[in-house]
Chain A
Amino acid sequence: MGQSNINKGDLLRIIVAKYGVVIALGIVIALFGIITPNFMSVGNFTNILRSISVITVLSLGLTVALAAGAFNLAVTGIAGFAGALSAGLMVWNQLSAITSSVIALIVGMLMGAAIGLFVIYFRVDDLLASLGAMYIAQGMTLTYTGGLNIYSNMIKPSPGGGFTTAPGRISDGFIFMGQGMVGVIPMPVIIMFIVIVLVHIFLNNTKWGRNIYSVGSNPEAAYLAGIPVNGYKIFAYSLSGILAAFAGILLVARLGSAQIAESQALLLDCVAASYIGFSFLGQGKPNAFGTFIGAALMGIMVNGLSMLGVSYTTQDIFKGIILLLSLAISRLSQK
């Protein structure tokens, strides 16, 4: 219908709706580039990418659930437990890095699936159900670790008094995943991009992705078109669990130990990154590259502000502003 006579105001609105987040990213980079002398360096950008690698993977876990119209606040909880489990299996049970990781991923998947089953079977609100699951996962982490961080040959009080030294180590290969470099590029950055691309392809180019998006877009219409909606919700929750668990494992690899409280702090950033991503290219729905842009925007803000000497307590104000702006932008794209 009459696309030729789009006026100037409409055009501006369309541009903002489509490229708003990208433009915001450009402005933020330019601003910091001008005010902060060391900001525009390859080293600093590598730093930023490394700093957002875990949160991007974690946010992708949330994104996949959101794509199916399902909220999963338990991603950080699952990440925490899966991370601790992978470290614990290596350190206490002397399992190999691969075996430990696979077990942790499977446990993450099962936790995700359990949330999905619960939400569907009892028809409860998914946001609150996953909040409950987050508490359970956090409690499981604390119970499993006894409240201690897990590191190679750690020492822990024995139940009978005295101390026990753990027999195993977090293997070097495992730590390479989080700390290694390939040329000038950090390993976790490479892993992050691989996960982004895989999630993107999965959501956009496979029949499962289409069906997940359909379920998220209008579950009733999807059901009446013969799509097994409940199955796809559980599927999406399971994938969300796997990605969250993987983020948890990656975090352990980055830190060289399982810091039990580390992943909990990421929850709100993760929600923000996914939602900022909605407006990427005017898609108006959860998507992999958008989530990355969202995480990058937050990461760059934190990095630039830190370089300017703004304390991290104040930084949250800026994060909040960015989230609010991007929500407004994604609203534009839906008009």
Chain B
Amino acid sequence: MDRFVLVTKKLSKRFPGVQALKDIDMEIRGGEIHSLVGANGAGKSTFAKIISGVYKDYEGEIFINGEKVVLDTPQKSFQYGISVVYQEVDSALIHYFTVAENLLMSSVTQYGSFVSQKKLVKIAKEKLKSLGLKLPFDLNTRVSELSVSQKQLLLIFKSLIHNSRLIIFDEPTSSLGPVEVEQLFEIIHSLKERGIAVLYISHRMPEIFTISDKITVFRDGRKIGTFPRDEVTPDDIIRYMIGKSSQKIEISSKEMSNTPILEIHRKSDESQKLVLYKGEVLGLTGLVGAGKTELLKEIYTGSKDLKVALDGKEVRIKTSTDAVKMGIYFLPEERRKEGLLIKENLIWNMLLPSFGDFANALGFMKDKEAAQVSKRFAEKLRVKFADLRQRVESLSGGNQQKLIIARWLIKNELKGARVILFDEPTVGIDVGAKEEIYNIVRTVAESGIGVIFSSSDIDEVLKVADRIVVMRDNKFIAEIERKDFSEEKILSLAAGRHEIVKN
């Protein structure tokens, strides 16, 4: 139990033009939950990828159970008992295979060339039983029918079946709601009891302090230190991560406007309506899967089921193009997939909705003017960049997110926004950038724009919103004024506990 499962000595990794990791010494014991924290670009993922065999050309030494090893392929790492539960669980599973097939995927060939589903289920059952594990869903289920947290559980069990000694969790809670997070933590604790080492990579302070035995902080590719959890505070850790203490947001208790700017009614259910007032930040929260993203997309890209009024006048939105023309803008949740043109430069990404506004009467682009405006906004939002013409793929998540925000602020300056919908604007970005984004959101609202700030992170909604609407199962279930804000209340509303108590 007490042995070091993983030891690294002077582990380093270079990318073209960047030293991603420098001289990392780490020691992780069996039965230890070891958190790895750091801002974006600190080297956490690089470290995880080296250990899991993704990068073969690293420098330094790695020891597994005291034995010096070279981890140059993912298969090799897996054989040494290292497995990873990635943030993107989907990429690690085969969707049209069953749970049993996925559980045994890495070892399936050893059961003969032709394996029946029946036989696989039997083998999987036996293996799970011998380990004392029980899956809360059927082994014959197709993976495509599972929820995100069930997929995570599947991946964890798969690691256990294959005798993993170190399981790396890479931001495992970023797509989970609070209840699911709790379930995950229970599982992680049971891993600890089994003597398995856990490397837990995350941004989220409350989680890290709930779960870890030790916390290691990375900054700019170097290790700042490893601390027993009880000897540090979240503020210490944040200070180590960003090199300064985080600033708090002060919301002045201002007089709220009572001019509605956006009103939404669901035609199929008269009880479902939402009003957004001028200059207000409306926090929209609820568990993952409560229907927040779907609602925002319905508003933005049009839905036959919604009656939408803007400034008191009913409007008909059929596509995103209509919405943008009316001054309704949307910042999507999945930055890389839905927001960025990853191969294009900063200017391009900031001007994506505005090329027409920067063209002369003949359609020719006024590139100088476009570059000036882009530069002004990039600086205003404190985007860190070397060159406006560099591809955005090299930027950190926080900087990328700022570009997408800048995109709509530019459009606002040109055309005037009425409403901006932010969908999970701080997912996967570091603490410092989060605070900056809260400030931007507040400033946007203060200029008289209506803002919907949608997030599953209740803490941040409490911080930034003037009023909170809670969603559950695609319905609005509660509206709470700032003076009545309470985390427990919102959490229980979101999770549905409130109703059980009432009955």
A residues near B, CB below 8 A?
1-3, 5-7, 10, 13, 205-208, 210-211, 213-214, 217-218, 220-228, 284-285, 334
Contacts and interface: CB of A to CB of B under 8 A. Distances in A.
Interface stretch (B146-154, B169-177, B348-356, B464-472): B348-356
Interface stretch (B198-206, B230-238, B359-367): B359-367
Given A222-B352, A226-B323, A227-B353, A205 B386 contact: no
Contacts of A208: 363
Q: Which 5 A-B pairs have the closest CB atoms?
A: A226-B324, A207-B359, A10-B16, A225-B352, A225-B353
B360 to A, nearest CB: 9
Contacts of A206: 359, 362-365
B250 interface: no
B19 interface: yes
Nearest to A3: B17
Nearest to B395: A1
B365 A207 contact: yes
B356 A207 contact: yes
Contacts of A226: 320-321, 323-325, 329, 353
A170 to B, nearest CB: 35
B338 A207 contact: no
Interface in B36-67: none
Given A1-B386, A1-B394, A217-B343, A205 B355 contact: no
Given A206-B364, A207-B363, A225-B352, A2 B19 contact: yes
Q: Which of A7, A213, A225 has the most CB of B within 10 A?
A: A225
A3 B16 CA distance: 9
B358 interface: yes
Contacts of A10: 16-17
B341 interface: yes
B379 to A, nearest CB: 18
B339 A210 contact: no
Interface of B: 16-19, 300-301, 319-321, 323-325, 329-330, 332, 337-344, 348, 351-353, 355-356, 358-359, 362-365, 367, 386, 394, 407
Contacts of A7: 16
Nearest to B359: A207
B320 A223 contact: yes
Contacts of B339: 221, 224
Contacts of B386: 1, 3
B337 A13 contact: no
Nearest to B349: A221
B337 to A, nearest CB: 6
A6 B16 CA distance: 6
Given A3-B386, A208-B363, A214-B355, 7 more contacts: A207-B356, A217-B341, A224-B320, A226-B320, A228-B319, A228-B321, A285-B343
Contact of A2 (B18, B300, B358): B18
A224 B332 contact: yes
B336 to A, nearest CB: 9
Contact of B355 (A13, A210, A228): A210
A10 B18 CA distance: 11
A231 B81 CA distance: 52
Nearest to B367: A205
A221 B365 contact: no
A334 B365 contact: no
A7 to B, nearest CB: 8
A224 B365 CA distance: 22
Contacts of B341: 214, 217-218, 221-222
Contact of A224 (B16, B338, B356): B338
A5 B320 CA distance: 44
Given A1-B18, A208-B363, A211-B355, A224 B330 contact: yes
Nearest to A14: B16
14 contacts: A206-B363, A210-B355, A218-B340, A218-B341, A221-B332, A222-B341, A223-B320, A224-B320, A224-B330, A224-B332, A224-B339, A227-B352, A228-B321, A284-B343
Nearest to A283: B343
A7 B300 CA distance: 47
Nearest to A220: B338
Contacts of B325: 226
Q: Which of A1, A7, A208, A214 has the most CB of B within 10 A?
A: A1
Contacts of B340: 218, 221
A207 B355 CA distance: 5
B338 to A, nearest CB: 5
Contact of B364 (A205, A220, A334): A205
Q: Which of B16, B332, B344, B386 has the most CB of A within 10 A?
A: B16
Nearest to A206: B363
Nearest to A210: B355
Contacts of A223: 301, 319-320
A215 B343 CA distance: 13
Q: Which of A1, A223, A224, A228 has the most CB of B within 10 A?
A: A224
A207 B358 contact: yes
B327 to A, nearest CB: 11
A214 B340 CA distance: 10
Contacts of B407: 225
A218 B340 CA distance: 8
A221 B359 contact: no
Contact of B17 (A6, A207, A214, A225): A6
Contacts of B362: 206
A224 B408 CA distance: 11
A14 B359 CA distance: 33
Nearest to B332: A224
Contacts of B358: 207
A224 B338 CA distance: 7
A205 B18 CA distance: 33
Nearest to B393: A334
A47 to B, nearest CB: 36
B344 A217 contact: yes
Contacts of B300: 224
Nearest to A231: B321
Contacts of A5: 17
Contacts of B337: 218, 220-221
Nearest to A218: B341
Contacts of A205: 364-365, 367
B410 to A, nearest CB: 11
Contacts of B301: 223-224
A284 B342 CA distance: 12
B484 to A, nearest CB: 34
A285 B340 CA distance: 16
Nearest to B396: A1
Contacts of A13: 16
A14 to B, nearest CB: 8
